[in-house]
Amino acid sequence: MKGRVMLEVNNLKKYYRVTGGLMSRSIGEIRAVDGVSLAVGMGEVLGLVGESGCGKSTLGKTILRLEEPTAGEIKFNDVDVVRLNRRHLRELRGKMQIVFQDPDSSLDPRMTVGDSIAEALVVHGISGSAELDDRVARLLEKVGLESDFGERYPHEFSGGQKQRIGIARALAMDPQLIIADEPVSALDVSVQAQILNLMMDIRERDGLAYIFVSHDLSVVRYLSDRVAVMYLGKIVEMADKTEFFRNPLHPYTEALLSAIASLRPAGRDRILLTGDLPSPLNPPPGCRFHTRCHRVMPVCSQVEPELAQIAPGHMVSCHLYV
């Protein structure tokens, strides 16, 4: 891990109650995040990957308490985030920000770009008009836009420019950690590299840490220091980037990497997963991946494997390595 630990998450859970019938009785729980533990160091980029519906975005929002956790612990710079009241949480959020996937839906079309960026500054007590204008102008320039763009409205910008505005808004309070929730997946391929390079430049200049949520392993390989893989609400593998792509251990990770020829480890064939991702409302017993696993054993359907360290910095949740 790079630098001292900034964020520590222990056994974090986020369940959504499902109701049905005339009396809206509880019929179960969707286990979107089910016992996740991870840590992020100062200035580190942790890539978080997995199929759609595995809980990546929910994990990011729960860490920020945009979604209230069902159980577990979140510590940011040794502060217990879960126990903070609304006022103290608002103060802390200046240091923990998010960049959303869709820049169109994350910007209010009725507000100028300058007002959108300045909103966080006003909430946190920076109210002088001249100071606000100056801060907004500098933030726009920081993300590669003209300083006078603050007077315009979101519909006047391209998708890539809107995402730059979203990044400027996230940077307004000088955060230490940004959760980037698939920030380039809604953009044209020609624009994606520009946004990724911008984020890396900002990281190098300001020492920011990122949790970079993505399903694109090529992007994760470019950006990340470490990589964590989620499957059905759980982390199933976590390792340093070089080790992760050189020596994937979990059968699910093997299948993900084998789907991309340029990332497939030498000498390994393409692995085709059968079946669909099970429902988080009724996850399979034992290992949650056993219904699709090409290396399944009898124990896999009976006992849930623990996430354990099997080499320095390399953790995996699989009975193959117990």
Q: Of the spans 98-107, 183-192, 232-241, which averages the highest pLDDT? A: 232-241
Residues in the chain, overall count: 322
- Looking at residue 32, its pLDDT comes to 95
Residue 100 lies in a domain: no
Confidence of residue 127 (pLDDT cuts 50, 70, 90): low
Map residue 107 onto helix, strand or coil: coil
The yes-or-no verdict on residue 81 having pLDDT over 80 is yes
Q: At 298, phi and psi to the nearest 5?
A: -55, -40
- Give the residue-averaged pLDDT of 252-281: 82
Confidence of residue 203 (pLDDT cuts 50, 70, 90): very high
- Looking at residue 314, its pLDDT comes to 97
5-20, strands of its sheet edge to edge: 25-41, 5-20, 71-76, 79-80
Structural domains counted in the chain = 1
Q: How far is CA 262 from CA 124, 127, 237, 253, 268, in A?
A: 46, 51, 21, 15, 12
- Looking at residue 68, its pLDDT comes to 96
More confident residue, 215 or 37: 37
Instruction: Give me Rg for the CA atoms of the chain.
Output: 21
Q: Rounded to 10 degrees, what is the CA torsion of 254, 210, 7, 16? A: -70
Angle of CA points 155, 159, 165, to nearest 5°:
80
The yes-or-no verdict on residue 9 having pLDDT over 70 is yes
The domain of 86 spans 5-95+175-248
The yes-or-no verdict on residue 28 having pLDDT over 90 is no
- Looking at residue 1, its pLDDT comes to 66
Residue 242 lies in a domain: yes
Residue 295 lies in a domain: no
Residue 297 lies in a domain: no
Residue 20 lies in a domain: yes
pLDDT in tens, 94-118: 899 999 988 888 889 999 999 999 9
Residue 253 lies in a domain: no
- Looking at residue 29, its pLDDT comes to 92
More confident residue, 223 or 277: 223
Residue 281 lies in a domain: no
What is the C-alpha separation between 71 and 77, in angstroms, rounded?
A: 20
- Looking at residue 2, its pLDDT comes to 63
- Give the residue-averaged pLDDT of 285-292: 95
Burial track 134-171 (b if 16+ CB lie within 10 A, e otherwise):
ebbbebbebbbbeeebbebebeebebbbbbbbbbbbbb
CATH for 237: 3.40.50.300
The yes-or-no verdict on residue 288 having pLDDT over 90 is yes
Residue 120 lies in a domain: no
The yes-or-no verdict on residue 154 having pLDDT over 70 is yes
- Give the residue-averaged pLDDT of 164-192: 92
